[in-house]
Each structure stands twice: as structure tokens, then as C-alpha cells.
Amino acid sequence: MANNIVGKRAGMLVAKKILKGSRIICLCDCGEKRTVNIGHFNTGAIKSCGCHVSRHGKRGTRAYVSWSNMIQRCRNKNNKRYKDYGSKGITVCDRWLNFQSFYEDMGECPDELQIDRIDNEKGYSPENCRWTTRKENMSNKKRSRRYHVYGEIFKTALDAAKKHKVSPNTILAWCCGRDCKNRKGDTVHYSRKEGCWCTDVY
């Protein structure tokens, strides 16, 4: 019976290898390994390597919930949204398997915003993600953009960013303009750069 446990899931843990003394090595969705008691695994008494327990004081925050949901839909085959993400090859970069690294890169999720992949054909990583509104996120999912940068056409902002050695968000600002807050808290619009624009392909 013990051999049948390999490959099974309990919460965020997947059984990988059986050890002596009724213990198994498990891989957590966050990327960490943990050795647990088989009985605890079978009963669901242990659900993760410990990452779901707040060691960083951020559990329950918008950033943590966003990170957890991202991990689940990309790595947990039992998650109802896995078919739209993990099964289609959408991955989470190695660095972001750790919440603290994710938080260092993205910071807290502002109210009414959610995580969005700039290029929907690529996975979750610092260079391909931003906080955005639900409306803009849904619009981004329905369209494919072409970025015209100084005479060249790029399929993704990431491709253009690599060519010009800037961030994808900079390419977005060059091609689409952007709104920023000044020191007084007022919104200031910056127009796109001359010679740069984007077109939508639906």
C-alpha cells in the first residue's frame, strides 16, 4: 500500500519517495522538499512544507493570495483552473516559487488590482508581470498586440525589451503612454514616444 502513495497529493504536497520508518519525501508546490510521516500525509494533517503558515507576516494579504492562486493554477493538477494554465504550459519561474522573492519583485497588490501577464503566451516572471485592473487583464487575454519600436515590429513587449535592453513596462510606456502620480498625488499622463506605438490583433 505504501508504494501506491508515490505521486499522490495532500494539499500542496506531492509524495515523491518512501523512506524507512513510515516516512516519505514530499515536494511542495512552492518548490521546497519536506519529509513527513505517511499517516500525517494520508490524513491531511500536513498540507505544505510550511510555506502556507505565515513566516513573513503576509499571509492573507492580497499579494499572498495572488501568489498562492498563481502557484495552484500552474502546478496543482487538481486545481479547477489548472486546465487553463498548467496544462497549457503556463509556468511560474523558479524564483517565484518562493513567496518572499515574489513579494520583493512585485510588492503588495494595490486594492482592486490583480496580477497580469504582459505576454499571455509566456509564464509568470518578474519581467512579464504587473498589477493591473480586472478590465485591462480581461482585455489583454482577448487580444494580441504588436509593438512598433523605431521601425521594428515585435510580437511581445518582452521581445522588444530584450532588443532595447529595457523592461517590458518601459516598452509599454514607449508604445502606449502611461499615467503616473506626481508628488502632489495628481495623475499626470505621459504620451508615447515618437516612433513607437502598438496595434491590437484580435
Q: Which residue is it, cell 497588490?
A: 109
> What is the per-residue pLDDT for 195?
94
Q: How many CA atoms lie within 13 A of 108 on its CB side?
A: 9
> What is the per-residue pLDDT for 194?
92
Three-class SS string for 141-157?
A: HHCEEEEEECCEEECCH
Q: Which residue is it, cell 509593438?
A: 147
Low-confidence ranges of the chain (pLDDT < 70): 1-3, 51-57, 139-144, 179-183, 185, 202
* Burial bucket for residue 19 (CB in 10 Å: 0-12, 13-18, 19+): exposed
pTM passes above 0.85 = no
What radius of gyration do the chain's Cα atoms show?
21
Strand segments, DSSP code E, in the chain are 9-10, 13-19, 23-28, 33-37, 113-117, 129-133, 144-149, 152-154, 178-181, 187-190, 196-201
CA 100/CA 141 separation, integer angstroms: 27
